[in-house]
Amino acid sequence: FPVDSIRNFSIIAHVDHGKSTLADRILEFTGAIKKDADNKQVLDKLQVERERGITVKAQTASVTYEYKGQTYLLNLIDTPGHVDFSYEVSRSLAACDGVILLVDANEGVQAQTVANFYLAFTNELSILPVLNKIDLKNADPEAVKDQLLTLFEIDPDEVLMISAKKGIGIEKVITSVIERIPCPAEKCNPDAPLRALLFDSWFDKYKGAVCLILVVDGTLRKGDFVTSVHTGKSYEIRDLGILTPQERSIPQLFAGQVGYFTANIRSAKEAQVGDTFHQKGIPCEPLEGFREAKPMVFAGMYPMDQSEHPALRAAIDRLTLNDSSVSINIESSAALGQGWRLGFLGLLHMDVFNQRLEQEHGAQVVVTTPSVPYKVRIHGEKALREYGEEEPTITNPIQWPDPQIIVETSEPMVMGTIITPDSYLGAIISLCQDRRGIQHNLRNLDQNRIIVQYKLPLNEIVVDFYDHLKSVSSGYATFDYEDIGFEPSSLVKLDILLNGIMIEELSTIVHSSRARTVGKRICEKLSNTLPKHLFQIAVQAAVRGKVLARTNIKPVRKDVLAKCYGGDISRKMKLLKRQAEGKKRMKMYGNIEVPREAFINILKR
């Protein structure tokens, strides 16, 4: 295939706007798959994806199409479609020259439409606007065209109208891709030494990492030795080919082509997205786009039952083999036993991981409340020696430095975009303010919908922001966010004490304005789940030793005299004394029994 007959493109859309359905139709129309009701969404491979209707791992398919006497090679790069995966979206976009911007003609532009549009726009990709679901009774294509014009300056005459479900307008989409999306000639050079961009990878038990690449310069052949710019390691290409969407071996891939290769790469960490490969011994400038996947949401994972520890470890190992963006650290907790602290790109990423653990491996897991990474600037030589740097990133409250050596603390921030019918605006503004949000932008999208942007601390949205947003807007508001880096913030470590003894695994990092409320909540939860003891238990929440909240658990008075049938006063005194000593001993040794369930109840999401 000459370069000018190649089109590399993606479909980007808000969740449920019909991306997978359109991808299926394109594959059917070009003959890559048979027309068959069971074919529904062949690109969504995983069970979780089907259940949740979201695409998690990008999948790609190459198809051919005859048009005006020429055969075109169309490489459709499927992108994941949810807030957490914008990193994966942007990396698949790096292999494209254009995108189909798909919008539901009934729902109109939504938060992810906006986020995805800007990703494509800043990558300088051609944008082919397409309205889907025009078969729906309530579809209002003209109003949606107006939104596209207002927000993105898209000419209404350039907008295609289709029904992916009914198969209406599909041919026009394909011919428009050929006519309106440029071929990769501009960024590719067939005569230069090999440069290939890795834009997706997954792990196969037998073949090792399967790498999806765009050959930017030169040619890649079976048997070539290639080197990764990122790791410096070299491999022999065992197999290469295109996805149709099944793997089909071919002897070589030329500049501009998208395909896969396997090279006996034994770990997912050696096949990181955004990496550049070149011929061994012929180094090149790395292609733009490499960015180490940065986990932003952390949570502890523990087996429900410690005897399940080895099985859970095997399950986690298998899953992370396929997903190099998950970070793992071993963690042990006196309360929950041996487990792990895992880092994810976002909350949905964590949910999907969890669900896959349970579904694919039958593992029962205790997951602790998610937290975000913090940066803490410290001073003092001893401190620097201990932490190894001036501004360590803290992902676990146990590592929080002594307040004496802290100079400044920062937390990760995001820019959130919300699109909502105007009647819910008031409730949404109070929700965002309540979450320490700062309004950045507010404008009308059309007569009754508003687009509003808030700068928010990531910490305030990781737990239940999305659920609250949905509930205050009767499900109508949509939300997306992008990371905008760390900002200084007044953070403190909130400790929980039982009769003055700190329970380390219950410590959390909170904004100072939140310490009292959060502390109160934990104290109340603890008093409701801790069994009564023979003595009173003071449950306290404190910051730097200052108590901010307190509840008491009343003692049960075991009536030690019940068995003494009156009479002998000295025997009575002896028993009372022993009971008092017992109380003292228990307090002294911190002998408060905290059942595992109480920890799980507090730590669990």
Which spans of this chain sit near ligand GTP (rule: CB under 6 A)? 13, 15-21, 53-55, 81, 132-133, 135-136, 163-165
Q: How far apart are CA 581 and CA 171, in angstroms?
A: 86
Q: Minimum distance from CB of 165 to ligand GTP (Å)?
A: 3
Is 15 one of the annotated binding-site residues?
yes
Q: Exposed, middle or buried by CB within 10 Å (0-12, 13-18, 19+), for 175?
A: middle
Q: Closest approach of Cβ 270 to ligand GTP, in Å? A: 29
CB of 314 to ligand GTP, least distance (A): 30
- Compute the least distance from the CB of residue 259 to ligand GTP, in Å: 23
Query: Residue 161 or residue 209: which is nearer to ligand GTP going by CB?
Result: 161
User: Least distance (Å) from ligand GTP to the CB of residue 14?
Assistant: 7
**Identity of the residue, 17 or 145, whose beta carbon is nearer to ligand GTP in the bound complex:** 17
Longest dimension (CA), the chain: 113
80 annotated as belonging to a binding site for a ligand: yes
Beta carbon nearer to ligand GTP, 11 or 414: 11
Q: Which is nearer to ligand GTP, 14 or 230 (CB)?
A: 14
As measured in angstroms, the least distance from the Cβ of 36 to ligand GTP is 15
Is position 343 annotated in a ligand binding site? no
d(CA 465, CA 276) in angstroms, rounded, equals 38
HEC letters along 355-418: HHHHHHHCCCEEEECCECCEEEEECCHHHHHHHCCCCCEECCHHHCCCHHHEEEEEEEEEEEEE
Nearer to ligand GTP by Cβ, of 348 and 530: the residue is 348
81 is in an annotated binding site: yes
The response to whether 264 counts as a known ligand-binding position is no
Cα separation of 61 and 26, whole Å? 10
Question: Rounded to the nearest whole angstrom, what is the least distance from the CB of residue 116 to ligand GTP in the complex?
Answer: 10
**Rounded-to-integer distance, Cα 574 and Cα 198, Å:** 79
Q: Is 79 assigned to a binding site?
A: yes
376 is in an annotated binding site: no
Q: What is the Rg, in whole angstroms, of the alpha carbon atoms belonging to the chain?
A: 29
Rounded CA separation 346/410 (Å): 19
Residue 16 known to bind ligand: yes
The dihedral built from the CA positions of residue 260, 264, 269 and 270, taken in this order, carries a sign that is negative
User: Whole-number minimum distance, CB 77 to ligand GTP, in Å?
Assistant: 14
Closer by beta carbon to ligand GTP, 134 or else 268? 134
Q: E strands of 292-373, at which residues?
A: 297-303, 327-333, 337-344, 365-367
Q: Across the chain, how many H-helices and E-strands are there?
A: 15, 31
Task: Confirm or deny that 14 is annotated as ligand binding.
Answer: yes
Q: From the CB of 467, what's the least distance to ligand GTP, in Å?
A: 18
> For residues 165 and 520, which CB has a smaller minimum distance to ligand GTP in the complex?
165
Tell me whether residue 19 is annotated as binding.
yes
SS3 state of residue 543 = strand
Distance of alpha carbon 428 from alpha carbon 475, whole angstroms: 12
CB of 49 to ligand GTP, least distance (A): 7
The token pair at 543 is: 């910051």
Task: Report the nearest approach of ligand GTP to the CB of residue 139 (Å).
Answer: 8
Q: How far apart are CA 473 and CA 557, in angstroms?
A: 50
Lookup result for tokens 């009536």: 559
The residue to which tokens 């090792």 are assigned: 208
The answer to whether 552 and 527 are in contact (CB under 8 A) is yes
**114 marked ligand binding residue:** no
Contact 82, 112 (CB under 8 A): yes
Nearer to ligand GTP, 54 or 319 (CB): 54
Q: How far is CA 443 from the centre of its chain?
A: 28
78 or 270: CB nearest ligand GTP: 78
| 499 torsion bin: left (phi>0), alpha (psi -120 to 50), beta (else) | left
378 is in an annotated binding site: no
For the chain, first and last CA: distance in Å? 52
Sequence-distant (≥ 6) Cβ neighbours of residue 387 within 8 angstroms: 378, 401
- Residue 518 annotated as lining a ligand binding site: no
17 marked as binding residue: yes
Q: Which is nearer to ligand GTP, 20 or 489 (CB)?
A: 20
Residue whose CB is less far from ligand GTP, 135 or 482:
135
Give binding residues as ranges. 13-20, 78-82, 132-135
Give binding residues for GTP as ranges. 13-20, 78-82, 132-135
